[in-house]
Structure 1
Amino acid sequence: MLRVLAIDDEAPALSELAYLLREDSRVEHVATASDGATALRDMAEMVGRGERLDGIFLDIRMPGLGGLDLGRLIGGFPDPPRLVFVTAHDGWAVEAFNLEAVDYLLKPVRSARLAEAVRRLAAAVGKSVDPDPGEVIPVELGGHTKFVALPDVLFAEAQGDYVRLHTAADNYLVRASLATLEREWADSGFIRVHRSTLVSSRHVKELYLEAGRILLKVGDHTVPVSRRHSRQVREQLIRQAGLGGSPLRRRGHRP
């Protein structure tokens, strides 16, 4: 079970974030602080009492000590807690991931997106927690109904009136529109990379340039990105998947 600290100078935002964290069965304890200085003091007291702190969910723009500066100070603690940034601004994603942030969430925070951040935090600190099963998709197979967990879907391709869902083990046809799935799955990290393709950012292993075209390595599959979507895809992968720095490279060349 996770013990976390939530920091935000806006009382409604802090209250909502703390509430959502406490609703997650993987989180054991949620402490709160309304500014960076108070958070540092509280952390020092917790360390002095020998209390464990696994992660910190912190805003970036705060009066006095901002989130990025606070994150740098926290990095100097012995066995520092992992960082999850929660902000209304997307311009500091690269700086956040340079601080080895686990995740970068944009306000307003949706419960499904926060649940994914908690999953990443648990994985980062090596906690054995029960995973959130998330949404399941019923798939008809020869008169039988199989339930495919949404986190198992690598990517989805439009095929006429159907969409083909690709998992590591198999692929399945469902009667749906890609536009509908794009809206419904946005909070689960799915992004449009082509007019006919949605990709799960959690399963993207690599983004690279080959013959002037951007490609994604998704599981064992190679998925092309259209020119129209290339900039948005790269920016979203930095925010959602924590690739940081510059994940775009040419194959066969040094990054």
Structure 2
Amino acid sequence: MKVLIVDDEPLAREELHYLIQGNSEVTEILEADGIFMAEEQVKSEHPDMVFLDIKLSDGNGMTLAEKIKSFDNSPHIVFATAYDSYALDAFEADAVDYILKPFSAKRVNEAIMRVAKLISPEDDATKAKRELRQNPRISIQNDERTIILQKKQILYVQAQQGFVYIWTLNKHKIISRQTLTNIYDQLKSPEFLQIHRSFIVNLNGVTELQPSFNHTYELTLIDGSKLPVSRSYVNTTKKALGL
């Protein structure tokens, strides 16, 4: 995200710059010391977000905010000022946030994250998938039962002839008619990796990777199981194992 700081006080710009640069959402920080320079920056650099002071040496930040709204792909505005009496005006100007000097890292980061969510809103489906993957447990349909299993107990998963077989660290096998894709959606995390169209493995259970035939590989697991790594998954498997 590209951010523009507009303030006629060098120390205020420096302070904001320092606080903003610590946020991983921000890729570039621009600065302007007044209305004219800020307008030119918005037109030429197309920032995603503007931290805008209200009382500037060459004009009023509120006026600039209203003007910016008419631009194509106008940036999101966050008023950053020493004056608390303009909050209502800021709301009417469609500002995303209103923060007061002296700035705190917490409030600056909150403002940035609000804009980040507006730029890349997380839809319900994406949110549901993220929460599912963060869950330490997995739900497995087994006939009319639902088995709840800790993800870390799973050693590998195999799809075969319309069934999915979940093998645990204690060598217990659970059979389900769920698809491999459905299981992987629940498991997907740095610990689990698809290595073949029919296999998902817990990387923490891998003890050896060795070449097989026709540019494929084979994984050996802590229980002695050997799983195929197909050619299309070799590079991602090596990378995941730090090779």
Which is bigger in relative contact order (C-alpha 8 A, separation at least 6)? 1
| TM-score for the superposition, normalised by structure 1 | 0.46
| TM-score for the superposition, normalised by structure 2 | 0.48
